[in-house]
Structure 1
Amino acid sequence: TENGPWSLWAKQISQPLIQALFQTIGRQQSISDLTADRASGDEGEWTELAIVLQSIQTALVTWFDGQMYDRAWGQRMAFSTLISFAAIWSELANGMGRAISINSTHRDAIAKACFQVTLQVLRTAAQRPNFPLYGGIFAAFSGETLRDTLSYFDLPLKQVAGTQEKGRLLTILGYSQQALGQNERAIALHREALAIANQAGDRPCEIANLNHLSRIAIGQKDYPQAISFSQRALILARQTGDKLGEANALTNVGYSEVLSAHSLDIMDEDVYEQNISYLDRGLKLAETLDDKQSLALGYHSLGLAYLTIGQAERAIEYLQLGTKAAQAVGDLYLQGLNLTYLAEAHHTLNKPKTAVFYSCLAMYQLHQIGAKEWRQSASLATVLEGQLGTQEFQEILTQYRPNLLPAIGVDGYDYLPQLLAKYRTDGGL
């Protein structure tokens, strides 16, 4: 399948290497393999390729930055565009390094040039004023493309000294690795970014990594560690006047305290009210800042907090708001998590039809980006199928087909039974 504008652009190009590259990108195939198999040592051909790619990159970034009707969306897409082009150059460098049909002198020189362009584009992205310290790089990537993109940046970032730009790039890569279920890798990236930010005096980046480490600790049910990270972030944010960091830290403090109290079977409502007040304050601050990523996290956390203490109706209100906010910022991971807990909330309220809809939608969307939490949704869907019976379960899916198709398409809808079968075959692992 050919997607996006690349295949169209390929038809307007006569130069063989550029045409083949655009076709490969349009088909979401390996640029590295193409380069290794078909690249030549013609420096003029590579110069032309560099000019064309640079022109497209500049035009796209300028166009996105100029979107006055939705500046936040335009800036996010401009950033994702830079990351996309850095990934392209990184693949070109990797492929050229494996090109055996070219003499070693030309091969090494071109590979090094591609590698340097990768670093230049990454640094340009890191220096943008709207750098997404609290988001991943999901807007332009999904599934295998996201996983491949992250792996391509391993080598470039390892060879860059500890700079402020590197710390910021490691921050978003850490968040993205967490979404892919690679928690240990995410922790290592956030700790390295934390150390770099501390040394560079980049306080917003330092606070962001403390907040990210807190969220990972929450996911691992290490609530004392989560509380420690979030409190450090809160203190530092207030000392430096970082309102965005403060909003996220308040959310993390409240959420981790709620889950900690619940894990200890504390029944005192006053304790939960006090901790939920942190979440409310964090959400109000995010609203004041009009930061949609922080709003998405705040709604999500409040929804889960109310679900944890048995207030499913209130949980649904916040989880629905969280889903819309996550969708607005292109955070597919957080969107999928909200859908998962919406399914659980409806299941708690004995609304099996809606629970089936949300669990299957969440399962597919999380699986598409390679997030391990797809199994959590698949588990609930399997339980519902067992309770309802296969026939009624399928009838509900058919009933909700018009609601599912706009979100996941016909191919996604047809793939749902296979995903459930895969979950059962793997034994839920």
Structure 2
Amino acid sequence: MFIQAKMVFYYLTFITILAAISPLVQSFSDFLPGILFSFIFLALYSLGLWIYHFKFGRVVKKKIRTNSRCANWYYDVICLSLSFYAVYFYTGSSPIDVFIGMSLGSNYMDYQEYFKDNMLSSFSLNKLSGILSLFFVKMYYLFSLYKLIANSFSSEFRRSFVIAMFSYLYIGFGRGTSFEMFEILISFVFGYFFLMSVNQRKIRVRNLLIILSMLIFSLALYDFNISSRYSGSYQPHSVNELLYDQNNFITQFSFSPLLFKLSNYFLVGPLYLSYFIDYIYEQGVLYFLLPLNLHILDIEPKVLCKLSFDCGFAWTPSYEIYLLKLGLLLSPLVTILLGFFSGAIFNKFVVERDFVSFSISYYVLLFFISLPVGNFVFTSSSNIIVIFCCISFWICKRFFKLI
């Protein structure tokens, strides 16, 4: 099994365990259909990887020298400056305001209010500078991570990675959001295991401890970020379909509020997906076989939010859009093809160690992680631009030999 499939498997296992132990009124069986559905599509993705591996095999690693030049310091300065500008553009806050806001609580509500008052939800040319700033910070973070990975964590590349990582984290600090920390954790773990898989090396205990430390730090930061939105006096309460169970035996432990916070982030999607599967069955499976039936049936995404499911402010699973647009017949085939494509990209990176293959592999992983939970990938303009640039570069080089 390739690294993306392994990471998605571990991720779904985490969601399964979280659903089993969280202090919720909903039982584990309520989440089970959505979780099993996600594992089935992971199996289809793995099948595509296996088909590519069986047909073409794994290429032998060539001893090529990667570009070991360290990024110039002024790129680091540009990245950091653009992260300051992006936060100012989307929140109106300077770095001093951001850190004062963090010390007093969370910047999340200020960000939401500023975003709404300045109508930043709709695209306009005035937003172009902010979007491009986010794009550069995201691209530079991925590139610095790639350089660090491609050069086996050489110390000369750590400075640029740390600065790029802080720049991306600062955007999360300014907006009061937690996704940036989770994405850094996912990308770093992916990069490390991707390198180990490519080089066919054993995983060192020291590096596992570093990853574990990052995981603990991420959970602590997430816990702090959510609590600070309530001025540090957070009490578990229901804000969507998930209901907090005061009588659950887990509530006697001090970590139960953290479990409930994580549930609101990771379990609303699987629960919604379980209900959506029931909705498909009730409406008639035949109606959902072919692609684009959502236009024929006049069904919009988040359809259950308008019927019986309390979505609150949570994301709905991307599987809903995936199934509505592709249909029940085409979506499994596309999933297998994505696995086949991932195998080809992996082999290309083994040979060439190129940034585009690394980035595409990472976004495929992020796409499958987002499917059962929410749209991590395509809600961000910077992500869309990065993906478009990488795929365009890959197509031009692979099929047209233009680069």
TM exceeding 0.5: no
Structure 2-normalised TM-score? 0.33
Structure 1-normalised TM-score? 0.32
Larger Rg: 1
Which one has the bigger helix percentage?
1
**Structure with bigger RCO (C-alpha 8 Å, 6+ apart):** 2
